[in-house]
Amino acid sequence: MPDFDIDFSDERRQEMIDYVVRKYGSDHVAQIVTFGTMAARGSIRDVGRAMAIPYATVDSIAKLVPMELNITLEKALKASQELRQRYDTDPQVHELIDMARQLEGMPRNASTHAAGVVITDRPVSEYVPLAKNNDSIVTQYTMTTLEELGLLKMDFLGLRNLSVIHDAQGMIREKDPDFQIEKIPLDDQKVFDMLSAGSTDGVFQFESGGMRSVIMQLKPEHLEDLIAVISLYRPGPMDSIPRYIECRHHPEKVRFRHPLLRDILDVTYGCIVYQEQVMQIFRSLAGYSLGRADIVRRAMSKKKAAVMEKERQIFIYGLVNEDGTVEVEGCIRRGVDEETAKAIFGEMESFASYAFNKSHATAYATLSYQTAWLKCYYPREYLAALLTSVLDNTNKLARYIAECVRLGIRVLPPHVNLSRNGFTVDGQDIRFGLLAIRNLGKGFISSLLQERDENGSYTSFYNFCKRMYGKDLNRRALESLVKCGALDQLGYNRRQMLESVASVLESLDADKRRNVEGQLGFFDSLTPKAAEEEFTVGPMQDLSIADKLAMEKEVTGMYLSGHPMAEYLEEYDRLHAAKTGDLLDEELDRYHDGDNVTLLGILTKVRLKVTKNNSTMAFVTVEDMFGSIEALVFPNTLTQYAPLIAEGNIVQMRGRVSMREDEETKLVCEQVLPAPEKGHHVEGAPKRKTKRPGLYLKVPGKESPLYEKAKKYLLIFDGPTPLYVYFEDTKKLMLAPTAMRVDVNDVLLRELRKVLGNANVAFVKE
């Protein structure tokens, strides 16, 4: 079956599909069905569920199956000694695995191919039966059967990175109208130096921990190196990576199994890397035609054992027709000894099923280089486009914002006078996009931008409300804009604006009703400037920093004007703390099931649950500057560390990584420690000489009457200052939740000292 893979940007992909449907007709185009099969681990889990075996037991068995590509239960029993032992000694496990082996490989569910489309000259239904999968028309045959029927299949792939490059190029052209990404030099040493240093966050194909490690070892010097790495970093060819890197740095160590291989493998330092090289080897060593070499390459890639065994003999000994003509000379006739020929064929056979063709790898390497070049020379434009592309992925958003911080680029909060739909460049910084704000419809954002472009910037809070009234502005949208800071610097602080949202909207509603009745509104009788002067809000103290951060988090999913963990950035390396974004990113492949890690983060959500044994456990969301992850705190651990496990607390949490196929990665908490504090030694961190700014209290215990009385004063004087409490009974200092931050003043200090004593109250200023 003809099979074409074409990469488009996300927008262009849909345009192409729509074009194909318009050109050929909807009855001539259909998507392709795929059947998910019962894989080794999955079959154990499904059978265990059907047999009503406790999940913990089934999970422990499934995790003994090695995480290898195309692993089977038969191979797993040979590879895992512990799995074999449990299979041989535990009757229940024996029955579970035997039943799973019977179901392994069988279809489990039907879904739609992510990109595959069949295009036919007559209606598709004349060739294959069709079905409906949600709103999609799909074939009832899989791509393998369609291949046997000789139908045309095309893969229209939507590649996010093409959209990122397109958007970045658009921003660059605002400064340099003639810029074209296709015209950048492909041999820029500064770009290769950046890659060699491991600065690959946001670089297509090179973000994973494994790829970063390889590229740092290789130290690429030209595009050919990137093409080879992309091709090698796959199961099978991956085993050749150490050899490739060694020979790349020491060409004198390159060895060829036969002189005929030199011209073919010289560019890859003696390693078979590309499908084209496989075809060249068949042609040069055994005399295959191009057509026959391609047929064998396909047979190798699809592991057709019968075809391969036949071709092995032809490759080594040749093929003579019945009339005595030689169709294929074979290696021996061409001067390659039998042992060498067998070794070369075996190497190709094990490799070809995973290999890239070089043209595919070259296209991807070029994209990788372009993203690296943009990051190197236009980091603000590129990262702004990259951030826009992951607006729906909070963890990736946090990770790329952290990369901006590392590069010294500030990511500023959204603003109605400066932001557009997505992230944009604002001077030397990046400005948050309006699409990131919840409760704002696309129609409202479009109206906001159009009004601003046509009539200038919004001059005040009232001016914004007046101009946007009747354009999908409602209370929720207005409150969201205030909470995230998008209306800051328009005359009032956030508390004043939030308090006046209802009155402003009611006033505008009343004006509209009077105008409908043919009467002038109160503000309409005045000039625009006079109307704004007439609208005033009394003085109010602004929200505390903690409240602002909490509201920003509420309406954007991110902290914008700061981050509770920002002051702890230097602690991550000292504590060897893992980053939550790295834990959750499967592409990085940095952490694995069962790894012991330390997290340093703020507890943003604590949910308690009563277990079947009538004990209480907690599901805790831990957030740092790189993302968030859920932690499971089982009853014994919760009992031991309950005082520290509260929303708003910043803690060190130690535990093991739990990775399951059917859910997101989690942390199983085993220990909780207070956040590292200045002047207080924390295990794993060096001692410090000074305390962090804040109000410090020393109390007998969490349940002591003195502490309860002190809290009453603290609740009256809420403000921006962090509160630290030292409990004498547990000998632990903890940062109080953000809701307990205080406004430190003489009255508060005097009353606290009356309750706790002068020696037990201290205020450390900035």
Which pLDDT band holds residue 662 (cuts at 50, 70, 90)?
A: low
| 719 vs 671, residue with greater confidence | 671
Beta carbons of 151 and 3 less than 8 angstroms apart:
no
Which pLDDT band holds residue 354 (cuts at 50, 70, 90)?
A: low
| 51 vs 755, residue with greater confidence | 51
Which pLDDT band holds residue 722 (cuts at 50, 70, 90)?
A: confident
Secondary structure tally for the chain: helices H, strands E: 31, 22
Beta carbons of 337 and 130 less than 8 angstroms apart:
no
| Amino acid at site 476 | R
Reported CATH class of domain 566-674: mainly beta
Of the candidate ranges 224-238, 586-600, 611-625, the one whose mean pLDDT is the lowest: 586-600
The tokens 């990404």 sit on which residue?
181
CATH of domain 410-556: 1.10.150
- Chain centroid offset of residue 162 CA: 17
**Mean predicted confidence (pLDDT) in 221-237:** 86
| 511 vs 41, residue with greater confidence | 41
Task: Output the six-digit token pair for 402.
Answer: 């952290």
Cα–Cα distance between 357 and 277 in angstroms, integer? 9
476 has pLDDT over 90:
yes
CA torsion sign, 130 to 131 to 133 to 136?
positive
In the prediction, which pLDDT does 755 show?
84
Task: Output the six-digit token pair for 298.
Answer: 């396909």
721 has pLDDT over 60:
yes
* Tens-place pLDDT, residues 240-257: 888 889 998 998 889 888
The tokens 């590509």 sit on which residue?
69
62 has pLDDT over 80:
yes
530 has pLDDT over 50:
no
* Tens-place pLDDT, residues 264-323: 998 888 888 888 888 899 999 999 998 888 888 777 766 666 777 888 889 999 888 888
Dmax over CA atoms of the chain, in Å, equals 113
Which pLDDT band holds residue 355 (cuts at 50, 70, 90)?
A: low
In the prediction, which pLDDT does 370 show?
96
Cα–Cα distance between 590 and 583 in angstroms, integer? 7
Of the candidate ranges 191-205, 328-342, 365-379, 678-692, the one whose mean pLDDT is the lowest: 678-692
The tokens 């010289």 sit on which residue?
266
Question: In the chain, what are the domain boundaries?
Answer: 3-158, 258-355, 410-556, 566-674, 694-764
| 139 vs 740, residue with greater confidence | 139
3-class state of residue 288 by DSSP: coil
Cα–Cα distance between 139 and 124 in angstroms, integer? 8
In the prediction, which pLDDT does 352 show?
62
Which pLDDT band holds residue 683 (cuts at 50, 70, 90)?
A: very low
In the prediction, which pLDDT does 388 show?
93
Which pLDDT band holds residue 575 (cuts at 50, 70, 90)?
A: confident
In the prediction, which pLDDT does 635 show?
92
Of the candidate ranges 193-197, 557-561, 641-645, 672-676, the one whose mean pLDDT is the lowest: 557-561
**Mean predicted confidence (pLDDT) in 708-717:** 80
pLDDT above 70 covers what percent of the chain?
A: 90
| Amino acid at site 715 | L
204 has pLDDT over 90:
yes
17 has pLDDT over 90:
no
User: 120-129, 139-148, 363-372, 709-718 — which one is most confidently predicted on average?
Assistant: 363-372
Reported CATH class of domain 3-158: mainly alpha
529 has pLDDT over 60:
no
Average pLDDT, the chain: 84
Cα–Cα distance between 269 and 277 in angstroms, integer? 13
Task: Output the six-digit token pair for 642.
Answer: 């309950």
In the prediction, which pLDDT does 526 show?
47
Beta carbons of 293 and 286 less than 8 angstroms apart:
no
Task: Output the six-digit token pair for 602.
Answer: 């703020």
Strand 152-158 relative to strand 3-8: parallel, antiparallel, unpaired? parallel
Cα–Cα distance between 628 and 584 in angstroms, integer? 9
Which pLDDT band holds residue 7 (cuts at 50, 70, 90)?
A: low
In the prediction, which pLDDT does 587 show?
58
Cα–Cα distance between 699 and 727 in angstroms, integer? 5
In the prediction, which pLDDT does 667 show?
94
Cα–Cα distance between 596 and 668 in angstroms, integer? 9
pTM of the shown model:
0.73
* Tens-place pLDDT, residues 426-457: 999 999 999 989 999 889 999 999 999 999 99
**Mean predicted confidence (pLDDT) in 408-426:** 92
Which pLDDT band holds residue 684 (cuts at 50, 70, 90)?
A: very low
**Mean predicted confidence (pLDDT) in 717-721:** 75
**Mean predicted confidence (pLDDT) in 614-635:** 91
The tokens 């035609």 sit on which residue?
289
Cα–Cα distance between 465 and 488 in angstroms, integer? 14
In the prediction, which pLDDT does 349 show?
75
In the prediction, which pLDDT does 766 show?
60
**Mean predicted confidence (pLDDT) in 53-79:** 84
Q: Which residues contact 757 (CB under 8 A, 6 or more apart)?
A: none
DSSP state of 114: E
697 closest CA partner among 660, 655, 749, 646: 749
Beta carbons of 167 and 371 less than 8 angstroms apart:
no
| 608 vs 355, residue with greater confidence | 608
